[in-house]
Structure 1
Amino acid sequence: KALQLKSDEHIFKFIKAKFGFGATRDFDASLYLCEEAFGLLPLDTFERLAGTVLLYPYLCTLSVLFILLLVVALSNLSLNGAGGNTEEEDRTFNMRSDVAYNLLHTVFFGLLAFSTMRMKYLWTGHMCAFAAFGVCGKEVWALYLRVLHCNTKTTMRLIRYSVPIIIMAFLYYKFWPRLMEEVSELREFYDPDTVELMEWIR
């Protein structure tokens, strides 16, 4: 009532009932609760994501950047509390605002997909973009190489170009035969009545 909900009120009732904030007698909300697509994310999703080599770079990128975000946030709070005015270039760690924004976005989409499987379509696309950023971008590799004390331009270029090529070669080796098999099984559907109708329309 406080939100003045009208046409989309069943969505609010569905969310309220799903998370245990009260039962609902709304037909649409009850129908959503019965649908499997609006249930929790099944655990075999992670096995399928791991089979496509998407889960591992995503988790590595997510964990590293999330730790970096916490370090940068605590560093900014301590500098503001101490009244310091250290330049961003002088800090040991820093994070671009767009990376932090997308990091929080992918965490939110992940939680949304966990709670409602139907929302997985939002998270999967973001996972692909985030994993590609971790594999092909400089930020994550620079952190790894800085920890290993071998952060040189040559090493950075070698890793940034070799890892994506290895991943693409693995995906080609694993999925190309299956893709060709599925394509070969396709047969053109021939319906004489439809062909006759198309010729008559001409």
Structure 2
Amino acid sequence: MMSEQREYIRIKDQAVIRLSSISELPTDNEEHPLPLPNHFKLLNQIISSQAEEGQLLHAVESDSSATAKYFKIQNSKIQSLAQLIISAHPDATKFPEQKVSISETGVDFYNSIERPVGSLLALNLIFMPDYLSFELYAKVITCVSFSTDNEELGPIYRYGLQFVNIGDQDRDRIARRIFHKQLEERRKQRLGQ
């Protein structure tokens, strides 16, 4: 009997990554070792509620397209305002953003600190520029050194992390992010950008 293996789509994106080594995964009632600031958590709640409202908006749209359009505009305003508030907060610029490659199961990126393969990490993953953020756990699958032309930077490592103990809600939010980024890339290709 063949084992069923699901293919996961991987996309390139921009994100802030904060890492901390941990010796073991915390229990369910322990706080994440790298807690996100409360304003990031509030924006996550707004984004999550908008995803839930999408189904309701679909039902409203069948009754009144004008009403549905009004609610979509209001949702967009709320999210834009929340992002503006976060972007003005000192925590928003404390860590540099970088290119990442993301799927529902893990993330690849570069870092200046070497960590052993198999080690566990607590991480914050904050997608830019909309500040969609996650408190996650991951295992180091690869950590490969490569040389750069800039000696001042020192060694750089390419990481491959696999998410562990990721909740369904976080996996769904990452999947939606990937889906929307794909749509955005297709739209840019159609427009020749």
Q: What TM-score bracket applies, with the shorter chain setting the length?
A: under 0.3
Higher helix share goes to which structure? 1
Structure number with greater CO (CA < 8 Å, separation at least 6) is: 2
The structure with the larger Rg is 1
TM-score using structure 1 length: 0.25
Higher strand share goes to which structure? 2
